[in-house]
Structure 1
Amino acid sequence: MDLKRVEMYADGACLGNPGPGGWAALLRYGEREKLVSGGEDHTTNNRMELLAVISGLKALKEPCRVDVFTDSRYLQGAFAKGWLENWRTNGWRRADRRPVENQDLWQALLQALGTHQVEFHWVKGHAGHPENERVDREARRQASLRKRGLGENRT
């Protein structure tokens, strides 16, 4: 069965770390695009990076091949460098035996990945990549809305 090939551009932002945060994911299939976004009142940038990808994957209606483009070394490194598999094997503990931060979201991400074939790609942030700049603007807009008490949780 040939799966649809989807590009996802995902980013998170935080005003203060922790502070009000936002996330955004742009999904592209051929000429069709869908932008999903949201935020939280008190969070961290890493949590927003993870929520962007989780929410983007949840927005897909069927199993797909997904190329995820992110400027988050934290997110991309978890897969490319095997951190995530090591954390799972070690009972969600890091090499120094401390608990893994954001375990709830890593587990949610693993669940969201379940039906899809996903490959993560790192892009340099704030370097003129049009789609990365677009999701960055939306994530920062969501964080700003949260700061002003105007945002909704849309995860």
Structure 2
Amino acid sequence: MSDTVDAFTDGACLGNPGPGGWAALLRYKTVEKWISGNEAETTNNRMELMAAIGALEALRRATHVRVTTDSQYVKQGIEQWVTRWQRNGWRTTDRKPVKNQDLWERLVAATASHRVEWHWTRGHSGHAENERVDQRAREEAERALMERTMENGA
């Protein structure tokens, strides 16, 4: 696991809930690869999770990954909360079901074969890669809105 892949992730939602998009930029040395997607009706937190999941699931072999996100929800969730949630049967400390359990389980599975470092950056603060993935995620959310509008006959 000597090679390192940098993953920059972001999610966006037009309304919350509403049409959403996510994007991840993977960088290995000088090679970059984009991964993105969207959903017709979702939340911002789900799109933030999907961006991290998409980045990790795109890797073909075990590697060292530095994931940079502007989502404290994702970073704190994976580093601090998920172990307790699992131990408590996917319940929060006040015994409520964990929101987005399906995606948290998927993220945990996606991290299993990698050595992952989680980094947080403030959104919209000039971090070059974060600005790029933010733009792509917003474009995906707009694409979801357009597709939803077309499906509804507008």
Bucket of the pairwise TM-score, normalised by the shorter protein: over 0.9
CA-based RMSD: 1.0
Between 1:124-133 and 1:2-11, the stretch displaced more is: 2-11
Instruction: Tell me by how many angstroms 1:95 deviates.
Output: 0.6
Give the share of equivalent positions with the same residue, in percent. 53
Aligned to 1:25: 24
Contact 2:13 2:19 in 1 (8 A): yes
Structure 2 gaps, min length 5:
149-154
Contact 1:47 1:105 in 2 (8 A): yes
Instruction: Tell me by how many angstroms 1:78 deviates.
Output: 1.2
1:109 counterpart = 2:107: yes
Instruction: Tell me by how many angstroms 1:67 deviates.
Output: 0.5
89, 92, 97: which is aligned to 2:90? 92
Read off the aligned partner of 1:42 and give its amino acid letter. E
Instruction: Tell me by how many angstroms 1:4 deviates.
Output: 1.7
Aligned to 2:119: 121
2: distance between equivalents of 1:11 and 1:48? 7
TM-score, length of structure 2 as denominator length: 0.94
Read off the aligned partner of 1:74 and give its amino acid letter. Y
Greater helix fraction, Structure 1 or Structure 2: 2
Structure 1 gaps, min length 5:
151-155
Contact 1:3 1:63 in 2 (8 A): no
Kindly report structure 1 stretches of 4+ aligned residues shifted beyond 4 Å: none
Aligned length: 148
2: distance between equivalents of 1:53 and 1:73? 12
Read off the aligned partner of 1:141 and give its amino acid letter. E
